[in-house]
Structure 1
Amino acid sequence: MTTSLGEYFVNKCLEATTQTDPWPYAQFPDALPADSFDKLKKSIVNIDKDRLKEAHNKDADRKSFTRDDFPSFKEFTDSNSAWRKAHSDPNTGAMGQFAQWIDKRYKSGNTLHNPIYLYPAQWKDWGIDFVDEIQEIGHAVLDNARELCNKFPNYHWHEKRGLNVHLKVDPPAPFEYYIHTDNIFKTWTSIIYIDPDENEGTQMYSAKEGVVHRHKHIGKRTSNPDDFNFIKTLPWKPNTHFTFCSDLDRSYHSYSNPSEQ
């Protein structure tokens, strides 16, 4: 009996060993079958780089394809949007830290310094032939959401669930994303490293004694490197999968792109 792509991906996630240092996560190779990953990677490496450099995500109004209450990227980045006003206050909003970071990036006026997010609805226009595959994977993830989350000791369960799927293209060096825990709206984080062949994986940290953690979605949280102990950098290899359920007082991580690609 042939295993579907969605079943393959979910089974790999469920079979993976949960690591605990410095907090619960799993990382494993061959996230996608070789032929599926090769198809995805070929689409990615052939993206028009000049067009990519000119992309302005702050002017885009793109939504998740599985849930109607996710904010669009425009709502994330537009400081005048109703969603930002409700959720991004630096003192009380769940997205205050991200809002401040993204504002700082966009004030530079240079999109080379900003990550680019390509959503499934855009993929065909960019020559990325993987929409059917990602929908199959996505629905398999939703069908097995509880089992996937139960791999980890703590997670935030939402009765209304969906997927916020995108291909994220980080700018070349020097690019660094601040130390953070994923926000409470994310139940399960799933990352597949795609390209280049050599890079750095996710950096993992533990908070130093006395650091005040953010409780639920209210209040400030620190991203000062002096407040954390660097533990390790996960190995980077294309088609490697990194997954975890965010724990607001433990799962501190960051990432960077030291390469010129």
Structure 2
Amino acid sequence: MATHLVTGAGSGIGRAVARALHARGDDLVLLARTRARADELETVFPGADVRVLDLAEPDAVDGFDAVPRRLDSMLHIAGVVELAPVAELDAHQLREQLEVNLVAPALVTRACLPALRAAGGTAVFVNSAAGLAAGASWSAYAASKFGLRALADALRAEEMGNGVRVTTVFPSRTATPMQEKVHQQEGGTYDSALWISPETVAATILHVLDLPRDATIPEVTVRPLVPWTPR
């Protein structure tokens, strides 16, 4: 039975991934931002090991060590977004996006590496189309995601000899609560039917996890069947 550590299991892509892994009987270690969210996750995913860890608090993340001895995968899916042009950047919002989207994955990865090495596991970083191209008002979020790609690239080079595979997934617009918030910030009308379903991205991630040991998928991009723009 495989064991997976998942961030962002409260909604969207993270919830879809956790649901799929739980349904096939795998063990889950879930990180929740608050005690209330942890209680909810314990109800939704019976038997999961749910830990409270606010990814926006670097000191707490720096001290994180609640990791099993073996991890078949570490799935970084949690993220936050606040759109604003550079001329109007809010320092707190800038720092929060960098802390949650980049610093926390780096520190949690550091804590998980011994367990990933022990299992020959896979590290998956769920990035974004904004990690490939940045549009107006996306500077802070895109900067965090460009950095996340660099983190994954460096980790891949460092850990290949230890049997740890590293994959970055770049989903474009996906029908999640975060995407609904983005549409509100952009002043657009949100229609979930236009965008990728979280289950489709989850299926892509499970394909990465289930890949035979003779290969790896360094990067994979998932886009909806609508014209793509780097907004």
- Give the TM-score normalised by the residue count of structure 2: 0.30
Larger Rg: 1
- Give the TM-score normalised by the residue count of structure 1: 0.27
Higher relative contact order (CA 8 A, sep 6+): 1
Structure number with higher helix proportion: 2
